[in-house]
Structure 1
């Protein structure tokens, strides 16, 4: 039994240590500036700084930092303003042993509030009968206080009130080189009355879900506690932590749904990028009773497990691959990231709807990948024009390396919207290119940019604003949404760090597929159009990728930079 804690639990322990180490790098600033009569600390962002750790050092409510949208995406060297004194008191009703109060924010939902305080929606409605007419901004509502039920991974023998049962077991998958240990985590929870939104009752008593995650447990020997502190190392410095936030985001949702009545057994296995390990794993572990398999995360190992899942008719989800061929011949496969042509199709439809008479220019430097992407854009835009306007629009290719900026400028229209889809990803090139575009005065320009551009520090934000820049990418988090803020707060509270893209991916995958199981059981693939959940990073709009093939998510986020914020154009 002593081996129960030697793998995933130890890994999670070291994650906490690495996260904690991030906080130790922060020193309270001695620079103070008076702005509009108020004193502010001027704090410079360094490696490992997070809003959570900054708020802790300055002893300030993190909500104060979040109120400034410039703080939501911290960058090295950024200077943020922190109020020297702040007094945030939350009004409580007289009987504060039973309730606390909450002021409703813009765009906040009942689901988000219940998620934030870990209280059932029904309990909030019962305490606030007036909510039958819906939430109103600035409305003060009562939140029933109750003892939080948690899954304590460190204490497997502990029985919480709801009799949550934990089983930790070490299993082995043989490798050519060495033995690899993995952890099976089982969560069983007694069912609770379903929420009004649930359409069907569970068809099975307990659902089995396999998480096949590259945890790199054999690399844990590289994590030496003394060196973590001496070398000022963070979680990002260790391979074993690469995908751990996917697990953490997934489990946060699983815990919530378990409290809402979903019975789950979640089996977590370490499957690195090694096909031999994957094959040996299948020989030693029976996955035939799984209702869903999530992962593996790498193409070659995914193919091994997906072939097995096909023979057993088990839905298998790939969270990260854009490759369409992983769906070929497997009607039980799901792909969460749309392939590039599907992303372009969404952008083309948006452009034709929003700019029906536009002059569309495809700008590239004639590299093979750029030519390929330009051809996809041209095809999809022309198809969209035919479908919506029964005629082809104006789509021209500009080979910038041949004609230069003067050649591009000669193709701009004076009286129509000019849509510049620029397929070049060199930051050095783009710095000059966008500066020249910014100098144009008499023509209306809308810039369509790939996701990489937003990470380029040398490009002035003002240029993106003036050029009406739109970005497109599969994953986009709106940090202004109330549900997003609620998730972040709970994640910080539990893991003492900021959730990254992995955490949001784990959250969304868990919310969609576990809710589908809860509502429709094993038949959920036939009910995909009815699965309605509020994901945080993307939406799931699944379509079959051909007869006898699997399902591909076809949704892509399109957002615009406006007033120094990213606005979701899909809403």
Structure 2
């Protein structure tokens, strides 16, 4: 990517407060209908009818704010991205070494995608005031909140991690502002904020979706879950067990759990495999070294036992180039899939090619997709669009935001989470989506 075209855009971000305005008009019609002439006879007094008690409309998701119809001529939006401007420029407009640091690019491309969405919405007549903030600037999120710089915001979109995620979530809950966590795959311990949207689904959601997929996709199967003896992987295994217990189906197959380590031999692994059924292998390792170590052990049995290996969302970046891994059928889960053939994706691709002489990354598509999706909800449904989020049309990918209740008996969501999980098969040149 052309580094210096990016630099030009970065400099503008320091004081970016984009006022997007458009003229709109509304016309009210009124008419008068002549009624019958008044009666000259003395009217008969009407008997008073007992007053009917009107039922109070129930607020969506039992959150009083969500029942409010708040629409504005101009909406105020805060966009947060990790741009690292202070580090990248080191007190001047020149980048040390004249090379853009790699750690800057994900946040920068997210911002570029979001800005492109805002430009597109501007052309459609949206009236927005957008403030862009560097979540890794010297002026912290906490100081922005204390200075009241974020007061009056109608929507927050943030590609942030902790501690910024928790700070923005607490602020959003207090001020009753919808906050979209765009990229962090975790709830950061948040369990009481119905104004929070988690776009990058939690691992618990991935486990449930993967379990349901393998149970439904294979009629006759041998499901074996391989985990290491760690607290983290034990918790993931428990999530799969909980999904099994919740699933109501007389065709579901039990999950056999195997604890493995580097000393586990291929012969020991083969004891859990069958020759007459598809062996559905679920691997809870998130790290590449651990995942590939187990796959190499499994590859020894691949010629004898039919194997389908399913892994975690972190596997999307793995390159299976090792000779032992050739020919293995390997799958992973993802909350985001883009084959880049739709009109929006082609528009983004053409813009980046013309402007930067480069291809946009997934972060650019996500920035565009989420910004367009939620700002359109804001414009069409008002500040509290939460009741309509389940029916909002897609932009690029399919989102399925559902309320999450972390505590038994809760009436108010802990947060909203994207429950749409894709199962994707890894390929030599391109990955393939397996489910809708």
Q: For the superposition of Structure 1 and Structure 2, which TM-score range results when normalised by the shorter chain?
A: 0.7 to 0.9
Q: Does the 8 Å contact 1:317/1:334 carry over to 2? A: yes
- Correspondence for 1:560 among 418, 425, 428: 425
- Given candidates 298, 309, 313, the residue that maps to 2:161 is 298
Structure 1 residue 288 displacement after superposition: 3.2
Q: Secondary structure at the match of 1:316?
A: strand
Does structure 1 residue 543 correspond to structure 2 residue 403?
Answer: yes
Equivalent residue number for residue 296 of structure 2: 434
Which digits, 9 at most, give the CA deviation of each residue in 1:33-71, with x for residues without a partner?
A: xxxxxxxxxxxxxxxxxxxxxxxxxxxxxxxxxxxxxxx
Is the aligned partner of 1:413 residue 2:274? yes
Using the TM superposition, give the Cα deviation of residue 446 of structure 1 relative to its aligned residue in structure 2, in angstroms.
0.8
Aligned length: 387
SS at match of 1:265: strand
CA contact (8 A) 1:327 1:333 kept: no
- Extract structure 1 runs of 4+ deviating beyond 6 A: 223-228
Query: Do the aligned partners of residues 439 and 354 (structure 1) sit closer, same or farther apart at CA in structure 2, a change above 3 Å counting?
Result: same
* Structure 1 residue 316: Cα displacement: 1.3
Residue 328 of structure 1: CA displacement? 2.0
Name 2:17's counterpart in structure 1: 184
Once residues 461 and 190 of structure 1 are traced to their aligned partners in structure 2, the CA distance between those partners, rounded to angstroms, is 62
Cα separation, partners in 2 of 1:551 and 1:262, compared to 1, 3 Å: same
Distance 1:530 1:192, change over 3 A: farther
Q: Which structure has more RCO (C-alpha within 8 Å, separation ≥ 6)? A: 2
Shift of residue 266 of structure 1? Answer: 0.9
- Residue 447 of structure 1: aligned partner: 309
Matches within 5 A, 1:8-27: 15-16=4-5
Q: Distance in 1 between matches of 2:322 and 2:432?
A: 18
Larger deviation, residues 305-314 vs 352-361: 305-314
Match of 1:383 in 2: 246
Question: 1:456 and 1:550 mapped to 2: Cα distance?
Answer: 31
Contact 2:200 2:335 in 1 (8 A): yes
For 2:3 and 2:23, the matched residues in 1 are separated by 31
The 1:509/1:241 distance shift into structure 2, 3 A limit, reads same
1:309 and 1:315 in contact (8 A); partners too? yes
- Compare 474-483 and 354-363 and name the one that shifted more: 474-483
Task: Flag the 1:393–1:225 CA change in 2: closer, same or farther, 3 A.
Answer: same
Structure 1 SS opposite 2:384? helix
For residue 436 of structure 1, report the CA deviation from its aligned partner. 5.0
**Cα separation, partners in 2 of 1:555 and 1:223, compared to 1, 3 Å:** farther
> What CA deviation, in whole Å up to 9, does each residue of 1:51-108 have, x standing for no partner?
xxxxxxxxxxxxxxxxxxxxxxxxxxxxxxxxxxxxxxxxxxxxxxxxxxxxxxxxxx
CA distance in 2, matches of 1:192, 1:388: 55
Shift of 1:399: 2.3
CA distance in 1, matches of 2:375, 2:93: 36
Q: Contact 1:511/1:535 (CA < 8 Å) preserved in 2?
A: no
TM-score between the two structures when normalised by the length of structure 2: 0.77
Aligned to 2:100: 235
SS in 2 for 1:348: helix
Whose Rg is larger? 2
Number of the residue aligned with 2:257: 397
1:217 aligns with 2:85: yes
Q: Distance in 1 between matches of 2:291 and 2:172?
A: 46
* Structure 1 residues without counterparts, runs of 5 or longer: 1-12, 20-151, 155-167, 171-180, 194-201
SS at match of 2:83: coil
Displacement after TM superposition at 1:350 (Å): 0.8
Determine the C-alpha separation between the residues in 2 that align with 1:477 and 1:568.
9
> Of 220, 237, 250, which aligns to 1:357?
220
Q: Which runs of 5+ in 2 are unaligned?
A: 27-69
Aligned mates of 1:459, 1:153 — CA distance in 2: 37
Alpha-carbon shift at residue 428 of structure 1 (Å): 7.1
Return closer, same or farther for 1:309/1:364 CA change in 2, 3 Å cut-off.
closer
Counterpart-to-counterpart distance in 2, 1:15 and 1:192:
42
Which SS does the other structure have where 2:234 is aligned?
Answer: helix
Moved more, 345-354 or 284-293: 284-293
CA–CA separation in structure 1 for the residues paired with 2:417 and 2:150? 23
Give the alignment's TM-score, normalised by structure 1: 0.60
Summarize deviations over 1:301-344 as a string: whole Å, max 9, x none: 33233322222211112112233355422221111121111111
1:471 corresponds to which of 332, 339, 347: 332
Maintained 8 Å contact 2:89/2:95: no
Q: After TM superposition, give the deviation of residue 539 of structure 1 in Å.
A: 2.5
